[in-house]
Amino acid sequence: MVVGEVATETEVLVIGGGPGGYVAAIRAAQLGKDVTLVEKDRLGGVCLNVGCIPSKALIDAAKAYHRLAREAERGIVVEGARLDFARLQGWKQSVVQRLTGGVEQLLRGNGVTVVKGRATFTGPNQVLVENPGGGNEVYRFKHCILATGSRPVELPGFAFDGIRILDSSDALTLDHLPLRLVVIGGGYIGLELGTAFAKLGSEVTVLELADQLLPGTDPELVQVVARRLRQLGVKVHTGVRVLGWEEAPGGEGVRVVFRPEPRGEGAAGAGAPGSAGSSGSEEQAVVADAVLVSVGRRPNTGGLGLELAGVELDERGRVKVDAQLRTSQRNIFAIGDIVPGPMLAHKASREGIVAAEVIAGLPAAADYVAVPAPVFTDPEIATVGLTEEQARQQGYDPVVGRFPYAANGRALTLGERDGFVKLVADRESKVVLGAGIVGPEASDLVAELALAIEMGATLEDLALTIHAHPTLSEAVMEAAEAGLGHAIHVLGKR
């Protein structure tokens, strides 16, 4: 196709085939639009291929393998169990292929045209697509949805090489289990993968700059995870700055150098949840076979020609959008990791639906009041809505209801007694404002609480809803009862 002479017309052009992009494309097609989706790599994006799905497959396999050693107390004695890491990776990839193949079928079934290539704007209504096999194509659109995702942040001095210095995608595609693993960054990605590798047999050390693991998460929830990490033998250093790395003497791995970060008076320091007690100012070092760098992600907004399309970015390189996900160029929308807000696949998917419906003329807008945030550590953490402190900062007088897993019959039958459900509500109206769960299946239980916040439910609504017995979900009901002051299965203040 000759540039400037012939262009393919489409009503809606979606750039990026991840959880935001492919959902947006399907919804727009359902609403009667002619849709073209351009993806430079693999359908499903980072999430399905090298992120959410393969990591959870690895995490669940690691949980099963590690649990074998704990089953003797329940009368199940397993002898001679061993880990076949190559076979585990093969199974994990089969799960990925099943899901990505399903995405392709869904797009085809909904009449979406899928184009392989890299798209670059040449104007506010046109892109140039570079095909991987050579040659370019021009597409002219009425509306465009940007869904180009994000990539790992690379620390200075820690260039990713896929062998010794790994990003999260590299860690998920290793062909062998590292005997010693250093994780730089104690956020959700680092702790999820670090925990999985520890359960599979790696010696894991976590280095985190902030004063606690999972910065920004309720410290009460983090304390339970930190305790489990210690039980797994994971060494954790919070409040430390990584200085660099070098080859270990004799070529025996990588030597990572770090030191405690100076803090102001009263800082949490070594006493923070998850800290191994790093103190003083002297440099320390740890030797490992591989280093996983997981210090955040940055939006993929470079190299798209956004300036030619009239799309503005903020100071952090994210696309500026309004409540309907419109950019500064009103026929171009942006969703997912490239716009402000948490980088979560389910947020991107919802934004994709909103953008498609706005394009179709429906009254839609993004609503971030109840966006659940799961962390697949051991035990899991899941939060939604406001924390107790955030509620207080917004002018509420919060009341808190807690219920421990140790008092839940189903949790005990699972051999899981650590964790609790914590509900935050307005003291006067009892309307649920937020929730935090730490414990098994927290990522599933949080859905009920997201719905409660979305619909404006009260603690009484949750307490009056009959929950099946014996189930973990009863802990939600009992936490609501605790918030109302009449918990049944825990002793309250008299």
- Kindly state the helix (H) or strand (E) to which residue 53 belongs, with its residue range: helix 52-67
What is the total residue count of the chain?
494
**From 3.40.50.300, 3.30.390.30, 2.120.10.30, 2.60.120.380, which CATH number describes the 372-484 domain?**
3.30.390.30
Beta partners for residue 182, in sequence order: 205, 291
* Crossing angle of helices 188-200 and 219-231, rounded to 10°: 20
Per-residue model confidence (pLDDT) at position 418: 97
Enumerate the known binding-site residues for NAD(+): 185-192, 208, 296
**From 3.50.50.60, 3.40.50.20, 1.10.357.10, 3.30.460.80, which CATH number describes the 165-293 domain?**
3.50.50.60
The 10 Å Cβ neighbour count of residue 97 is: 13
Residue the block writes with tokens 């609403």: 31
Enumerate the known binding-site residues for FAD: 56, 148-150, 337, 343-346
Using an 8 Å Cβ cutoff, are 258 and 241 in contact?
Answer: yes
Using an 8 Å Cβ cutoff, are 325 and 355 in contact?
Answer: yes
Q: DSSP letter for 249, please.
A: G
Which regions of the chain carry the CATH code 3.30.390.30? 372-484
CA dist., res. 20 & res. 352, Å (int): 5
Per-residue model confidence (pLDDT) at position 70: 81
- Cβ partners under 8 Å of residue 305, min gap 6: 120, 121, 122, 127
Q: CB burial class (10 A; 0-12, 13-18, 19+) of residue 272?
A: buried
Q: pTM here?
A: 0.94
- Cβ partners under 8 Å of residue 493, min gap 6: none
DSSP string, 147-206: ---EEEPPPTT----SSSEE-HHHHHT-SS--SEEEEE--SHHHHHHHHHHHHHT-EEEE
pLDDT in tens, the chain (494 residues): 444 458 999 999 999 999 999 999 999 999 999 999 999 999 999 999 999 999 999 999 999 999 998 888 888 988 888 999 999 999 999 999 999 999 999 999 999 999 999 999 999 999 999 999 888 999 999 999 999 999 999 999 999 999 999 999 999 999 999 999 999 999 999 999 999 999 999 999 999 999 999 999 999 999 999 999 999 999 999 999 999 999 998 888 999 999 999 876 444 443 456 555 555 678 999 999 999 999 999 999 999 999 999 999 999 999 999 999 999 999 999 999 999 999 999 999 999 999 999 999 999 999 999 999 999 999 999 999 999 999 999 999 999 999 999 999 999 999 999 999 999 999 999 999 999 999 999 999 999 999 999 999 999 999 999 999 999 999 999 999 999 999 999 987 64
**Is the preceding omega at residue 260 within 30 degrees of 0, hence cis?**
no
With residues binned 3-state (H G I as helix, E B as strand, rest as coil), the percentages for the chain, rounded to 5, are 35, 25, 40
For the domain made up of 8-152+298-360, give the CATH fold: FAD/NAD(P)-binding domain (3.50.50)
* Crossing angle of helices 188-200 and 52-67, rounded to 10°: 40
Catalytic positions: 469
Which regions of the chain carry the CATH code 3.50.50.60? 8-152+298-360, 165-293
Using an 8 Å Cβ cutoff, are 273 and 307 in contact?
Answer: no
Using an 8 Å Cβ cutoff, are 369 and 51 in contact?
Answer: no
- Cβ partners under 8 Å of residue 177, min gap 6: 83, 85, 197, 200, 201, 202
CA dist., res. 144 & res. 124, Å (int): 9
